[in-house]
């Protein structure tokens, strides 16, 4: 596996979420991702970036374009140093929200990508890594 290119995009305000979507769209296009997969990925980015902003108090989206012959992937990590998620199982339940959302962001994002990893602990922040392969 080789990392072809990488970078970091900050997520603090609403406009950053819009820019994160645009960046993901651009990167997925560079990867040669099919439109249907690109659309799924961008939807996942919306949800995760918004969680980073709303629940995590802001953070970053790290991105990597990965070559792993014969496939290419886009890997995105949403990370914050917010309160973390005390009960991951609950948070990964369809319809559960601690706020006023629909509670479908994490579970929805998981379904829309190939790999989904959630690493969090109370007081340690949250890190969600997703990968979509071409
Ligand atoms: N980055 C985060 N930091 C802390 N808590 C989070 C984070 N992302 C998600 N959560 C918790 O997981 C719950 C479920 O998230 P999600 O499925 O996106 O639903 P919603 O955003 O509608 O609440 C949130 O209500 C919140 O309690
Ligand atoms: Mg959400």
What DSSP assignment string belongs to 90-131?
HHTSTT--SSSS-S-HHHHHHHHSSEEEEEEETTTEEEEEEE
* Residue 97 Cβ contacting ligand 1 at under 6 Å: yes
> Of 31, 22, 16, 17, nearest to 74 (Cα)?
31
Cα of 29 vs centre of ligand 1, distance in Å, is 28
* Residue 58 Cβ contacting ligand 1 at under 6 Å: no
For ligand 1, atom 23: residue with the closest CA: 97
pLDDT digits (tens, 9 = 90+) for 28-54: 999 999 999 999 999 999 999 999 999
Q: What is the CATH number of the domain that holds 67?
A: 3.30.565.10
Contact in structure between 96 and 44 (CB atoms under 8 Å):
no
Percent of the chain beyond pLDDT 70? 100
Structural domain of 70: 2-133
Cα of 91 vs centre of ligand 1, distance in Å, is 6
Please give the pLDDT value at position 25.
Answer: 98
Per-residue confidence band for 106, with pLDDT thresholds at 50, 70 and 90? very high
Cα of 94 vs centre of ligand 1, distance in Å, is 11
CA distances from 128 to 13, 20, 30, 34, 70 (A): 19, 15, 22, 23, 25
Q: Distance between CA 41 and CA 81 in Å, rounded?
A: 24
Give me the mean pLDDT over the 97-109 stretch: 96
Give me the mean pLDDT over the 59-88 stretch: 97
Cα of 70 vs centre of ligand 2, distance in Å, is 33
Would you call 80 helix, strand, or coil by DSSP? strand
Q: What is the pTM of this model?
A: 0.97
How many domains does the structure of the chain reveal? 1
């Amino acid at each position: 596996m080789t990392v072809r290119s990488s970078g970091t995009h900050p997520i603090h305000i609403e406009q950053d979420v819009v820019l994160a979507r645009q960046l993901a769209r651009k990167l997925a296009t560079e990867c040669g991702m099919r439109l249907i997969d690109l659309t799924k990925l961008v939807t996942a980015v919306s949800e995760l970036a918004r969680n980073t902003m709303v629940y995590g108090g802001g953070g970053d989206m790290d991105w990597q374009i990965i070559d792993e012959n014969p496939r290419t992937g886009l890997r995105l990590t949403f990370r914050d140093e917010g309160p973390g998620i005390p009960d991951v199982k609950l948070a990964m339940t369809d319809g559960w929200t601690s706020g006023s959302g629909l509670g479908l962001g994490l579970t929805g994002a998981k379904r829309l990508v190939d790999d989904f990893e959630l690493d969090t602990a109370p007081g340690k922040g949250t890190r969600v890594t997703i990968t979509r392969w071409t």
